[in-house]
Amino acid sequence: MARILIAGDFVPYHRTKQQIEDGRFSEVFGATQSYTEKADYSIINLESPVVNGNASPISKTGPNLICTEKAIEAVKYAGFNCVTLANNHIRDYGNEGVECTIKSCNKFGIDHVGSGTNKKEAEKVLFKNIGDKNFAIINICENEWSVATDNQAGAAAISPIDNYHTIREVKSKAEYVIVITHGGIELYNLPTPRMQELYRFYVEAGADAVVNHHQHCYSGYETFMGKPIFYGIGNFSFDVAPKYNTRQWQEGYMVNLCFEGNEISFELYPYRQGCEDDSSVQFIADTTEMQSKIQMLNEIIGNEEAVSDEFAKFANKNSKGFIDMLEPFRNKYVSKLRNMNLFPKLYDASNKKLLLNLIRCESHREMLTAILEKEYINNYK
């Protein structure tokens, strides 16, 4: 038997940033050690590159996250054995940030997967003997600013065809294959139709479990062909300023997978983190309310039509925000300059980068397609 614990996004930020730097790790992780000690192997997503010296942030949309080597020391303190690095922030400080993160993991004896100095290195599978079983761990993320290329450090990307061949190859070398993904729409607590189709495809290819994070909120799960798929497990420790802090942001759960023969069972460990009165990870004794919410999500996930309907509702509700991002003239001053023929180009560099990310990232592109199709159908039917 082998027990593998998987946690979501860890970012030293806001209050926890100073706690990590001061070495006050217990104030961040709370009782986490009591759970990692029971597992044979524990994994957490490090959603921030390590930069110990001077490094410049890359030019991108969204924030550039950063931490120091203290974050890796904290991960080790909490009892985690491995960090997943395939996420949309690992390349926020370029090649130097990726390389420094990997060196820091090696220094503290922490395994890492999902990132490397180039595409080939980033796509390497982590093989581990855990308990009395042999595992292959694959870590991939959606295509944003972080993805590695042949000559650029970064993360391993979601690429269904490549991922299929990787899963098939390692299936012949390991008893179990775990795919850990990083994707989905932020603050949307259900999978999109594309995500469900893709993660089920990974199971069809040979994955024994699929675990996803990124959305900053938890989702539900399903068992497909006898294998568990978790569509979102929430932030693990990502403290933010009060104006951004919501209960949705605060709640999540760790997944404890148990592998024994052909049976794969699991247990969820719900918690809250980054609360107003306490930034630490606080495990919930009475999980009735959260379990009820998860069950409601599971009922939707179990119905493909319901998954599509909920996504359509979400896209419609958020259409204005996405449409506004495509509009280059978003204030009266720019419009006036345009009318006076004093505005020489439609898009500046920033708008081009934004448009690139909207088109390139699978989740952003899926939202955009749904919204524009609705606009087209309503106006040109």
Domains of the chain listed by start with CATH number: 2-288 (3.60.21.10), 318-380 (no CATH)
Residue 71 confidence class, pLDDT cut points 50, 70, 90:
very high
Q: 380 falls in which pLDDT band (50, 70, 90)?
A: very low
The per-residue pLDDT for 342 is: 63
Q: Rounded to whole angstroms, how far apart are CA atoms 352 and 87?
A: 22
- Cα separation, 353 vs 355, in Å, equals 5
- The answer to whether 134 touches 170, Cβ cutoff 8 Å, is no
pLDDT attached to residue 381:
40
pTM: 0.90
Residue 210, helix vs strand vs coil: strand
Helix-helix angle 193-205:160-171, to 10 degrees: 30
**How many whole angstroms separate alpha carbon 63 and alpha carbon 339?**
33
**CA triple 255-211-137, angle to 5 deg:** 100
From the list 335, 326, 312, the residue with the least C-alpha distance to 357 is 326
Share of the chain above pLDDT 90, in %: 83
Q: In sequence order, what are the beta bridge partners of 177?
A: 136
Estimate the share of the chain in helix, then strand, then coil, as percent rounded to the nearest 5. Answer: 40, 25, 35
pLDDT at 339 over 80: no
Give me the pLDDT at residue 196, please.
98
Work out the pLDDT band at 233, boundaries 50, 70, 90. very high
